[in-house]
Amino acid sequence: MTSPRIFISMGTPYAPKYVEFRAALERFFRDDCDADPRILGVNEYPSGNPLQKIHDVMRTCHGVVIVAYERKYIGSGTEKRTAPTPIALDQRTYTTPWNHIESALAYSLDLPIYIICENGLTEEGLIETKVDWYVQRIDFTPDQLREAGVSQSIRAWIDDRVRPLADKPRAFKAIEGSLKLSEMTPKELWGVGAGIAAVFAAGVAAGRFLPHLFG
């Protein structure tokens, strides 16, 4: 059974508690979920445009976890400042915009999404509960991942949504367009070619046989 590759979307930690949480999250996916977490700056390193690297890595993954935590704090502000009814923004926290970019990219690739959100963070954009994904709100401490409600929810998402994609033969992924031919081994390319040839031969045979059958 193939270990599912999971892209972790998390802004670079800027405080010790976030560094510890990221390390605990990586261990949890690898040791408890038998998954292969892919994290930019940890085991994936862009050499140029980070967006292209994110896209390339995400295409090889079977699910995406968005880890949203405080990046900006607004003590007192205003939304739609010149509108007839402006909205007060008091003591609001917001995540990095990269979470939204990577959520949208994952959605466009039709990958399962799971969102872990820090308690108190303002929901906006794709960082909110949708029909197709759930927002797990927690305090960002390593022991939170051991709580039954959190760990069981993540494992259920992996087993029900992610692992079936990982177990799908790569040849089918290439035919569907979710895997580039350049990412396949020679043996896998041979298998795809043989499958296409077999389908073509069956079509030719049917084309020759059917006129005689109905003629």
Residue 11: both structure tokens together: 């802004």
Which pLDDT does position 186 carry in this prediction? 56
pTM, to two decimals: 0.77
Same domain, yes or no: 19 and 114: yes
Domain contains 155: yes
Based on the fold, state whether residues 205 and 105 are members of the same structural domain. no
pLDDT (tens digit per residue) in 134-175 = 889 999 988 999 999 999 999 999 999 999 999 877 544 544
User: What is the per-residue pLDDT for 149?
Assistant: 92
pLDDT band at residue 188, thresholds of 50, 70 and 90?
very low
Mean pLDDT of 189-212: 56
* Residue with the larger pLDDT of the pair 122 and 129: 122
**92 and 193, same domain (yes or no):** no
Q: Tell me: do 128 and 75 sit in the same domain.
A: yes
Residues 98 and 189 in one domain: no
**Same domain, residue pair 20 and 117:** yes
Q: Which CATH number do you get for residue 23?
A: 3.40.50.450
For the segment 9-24, the average pLDDT, to the nearest whole number, is 95
Q: How many domains does the chain have?
A: 2
Q: Which residue has the higher pLDDT, 120 or 203?
A: 120
The reply to whether 146 and 45 lie within a common domain is yes
Q: What is the pLDDT of residues 105-125, one digit of tens each?
A: 999 999 999 999 999 999 888
Q: Is residue 174 part of a domain?
A: no
Residue 172 lies in a domain: no
Tell me, yes or no, whether 51 and 74 share the same domain: yes
Residue 61, domain member (yes or no): yes
User: Per the domain annotation, does 173 fall within a domain?
Assistant: no
Domain identity same for 70 and 152: yes
Counting residues of the chain whose pLDDT is more than 90, the rounded percentage is 64
pLDDT value for 171: 47
Mean pLDDT of 36-51: 90
Domain range for residue 28?
Answer: 5-167
**Token pair for 141:** 């401490």
* Residue 56 sits in the same domain as residue 95: yes
Same domain, 149 and 194: no
Q: Which residue has better confidence, 209 or 164?
A: 164
Share above pLDDT 70 across residues of the chain, in percent, rounded to a whole number: 78
Task: Enumerate residues 6+ apart whose C-beta is below 8 A from 171.
Answer: 188, 191, 192, 195
Residue 96 lies in a domain: yes
Q: Domain check: are 33 and 135 in the same one?
A: yes
* Token representation of residue 28: 């949890």
Average per-residue pLDDT for the chain: 84
Structure tokens at 134: 């759930």
Instruction: Indicate if the pLDDT at residue 194 is higher than 80.
Output: no
Q: Is the dihedral of CA 77, 78, 82, 84 positive or negative?
A: negative
| pLDDT the model gives residue 180 | 56
Residue 23 within any structural domain of the chain: yes
> Would you call 34 exposed, middle or buried from its count of C-beta atoms within 10 A (0-12, 13-18, 19+)?
middle
Does residue 176 sit within a domain?
Answer: no
